[in-house]
Amino acid sequence: MAATGSEKQGTKAFYVTTPIYYVNDAPHLGHAYTTVAGDVLTRWHRQRGEKVWYLTGTDEHGQKIMRTAEANNVTPQAWCDKLVEEAWKPLWEHLNIANDDFIRTTQKRHTDRVQEFVQDLYDKDEIYKGGYEGPYCVGCEEFKLPGDLVEAEDGTKLCPVHKRPVEILKEENYFFKLSAYGPKLLEFYEANPGFIQPESARNEVVNFVKQGLDDLSISRSTFDWGIPVPWDEKHVIYVWIDALLNYATAVGYNENPAKFEETFPADVHLIGKDILRFHAVIWPAMLMAQGLPVPGRVAANGWLMVGGEKMSKSNLTGIKPQDLTSHFGVDAYRWYFLRAIAFGQDGSFSWEDFTARYTSELANDYGNLASRVAAMVGKYFGGELPASAADGDAEKAIQDGLAAAVAVADAKIGEELDFQAGILAIFDFVKQVNGYITEQEPWKVAKDESEEGRARLATILYTAAESLRAVAVLLNPIMPETSQALWDSLGAEASLGALASQPVQDAATWGQLPAGATVTKGAVLFPRLEEPKKD
């Protein structure tokens, strides 16, 4: 049985991937949702002090890309180059995505290795020549099972994902002996119950495999926009075989053994649920056939819904991420979708919900807390953080609340991929600190100019500032720009060093922010929203 990623110890990097995205059009919110989730996850692990590798990229072969390019009167390569350089890469930079690599399936480092992988399977008698006829969805680049199709009112058979008619294709193709791996996959799922998440996705895959697997067509012969089959160049390699192999080719498969050993397999594949079977059935079977280790986890996120429909270009509900970042800001964008939607479930987006959460949680709870604390340290102590006197029960409650928030956030975000629960734990602590300030009323304590009064005021403000120090650390993987602004406002850069070097798991260690730190009131972290412009 192949080894899982969790069994490889030592210097292996924590390796996270997004799907490689089709470049038939510009990215929308659904693409950005998965990519931001991967960025938050990998930033969190980096801030644990771990070695991390984060991969994203683009899928540039296949019939869908070819037809899109033809419709735009350009070559497929020219179309891919334009979309990658003018749309995909700029968006990831705009959203502060800190990926370590960007793989394109038209790159030689990928195409050569794909041919070698497939040739190896052919030489091992895992691939044979045969014929196939069946319904094919160009949008999914997938032969569909008859039972998967939905029927239109006129009786036309439609793809259940794209709601478009399928094409009946008949070709002579090469086939991978996928059917032989059904029992091995079921044994693997049983031994590794956390391999597929969420549980509903796991159940779907297990039930699918239990029904019996058909061999997989791994070549196409009716068009030529793809990687040639090395032993028969009349065929090109099926785009999904090509695409899945990016997770191996990008980290040195058959090219850089040291890099491959310290990175592969992925610890987490983040995917959309519509490509679950490719990643949870076909991909591990391919790896088993090649004697390579199987990934640690395949985590399927749900769909973003607008008006009850899955967000996509094909149903015209695609929204540009820049439409939102221009109004709410990049950090709020990164925060909102992971805060509002439980990862792994479908979730609905609306301007009204985003606006309400931004105003209540970011501007009023978090941003206002940061502004009030900095203003009071400036007003009462000339901007110099005072030393805390004796902590009382109220302060101990804050310290306990922080310890609980760190423990929950680290477990939920770092291990369980429950971003929503982790973020809620952090913001519950923010609410607790707000409540502490309301109850302690430092503005009233400040009127007591006695030594005891000044000491009490110092303790309250130190407690609030030290709490914000921890919040900046915890929110840095999610909202790096505003976290850095808060870090600077607290004078933490000069006394504690770079924010990104602060371990998230140690954020609850109390007393890290030193007395005497220069606290300044910077720009408002989350400005009041203006009315969105109407076209």
**Tokens describing residue 482:** 């505003």
Amino acid at position 43, single letter: R
Are 184 and 170 in contact, with CB atoms under 8 Å apart? no
Under 8 Å CB-to-CB from 299, ≥6 apart: which residues? 197, 198, 268, 269, 270, 271, 343, 344, 417
Q: Alpha helix locations (H) across 312-366?
A: 321-328, 330-340, 351-357
110 and 250 in contact (C-beta within 8 Å)?
yes
For the record, the structure tokens of 223 come out as 């068009």
Cα–Cα separations (whole angstroms), residue 524 to 287, 371, 377, 483, 489: 51, 7, 16, 12, 11
Q: How far apart are CA 65 and CA 85, in angstroms?
A: 16
- The tokens describing 315, both together, are 């149903």
Distance CA 157, CA 163 (A): 9
Cis peptide before 230 (omega within 30 of 0): no
Judge contact between 322 and 340, C-beta under 8 A: no
Residue 248's nearest CA partner among 143, 140, 141, 101 is 101
Cα(33)–Cα(301) distance, integer angstroms:
9
C-alpha dihedral over 416, 419, 421, 423, to 10 degrees? 140
Instruction: Report the alpha-carbon distance of residue 207 to residue 209 in Å, rounded.
Output: 6
Q: Give the SS3 label for residue 16.
A: strand
Sign for the pseudo-dihedral over CA of 494, 496, 498, 500: negative
Contact at 8 Å (CB) between 465 and 385?
yes
Q: Mind telling me the catalytic residues? A: 28, 31, 137, 140, 159, 162, 310, 313
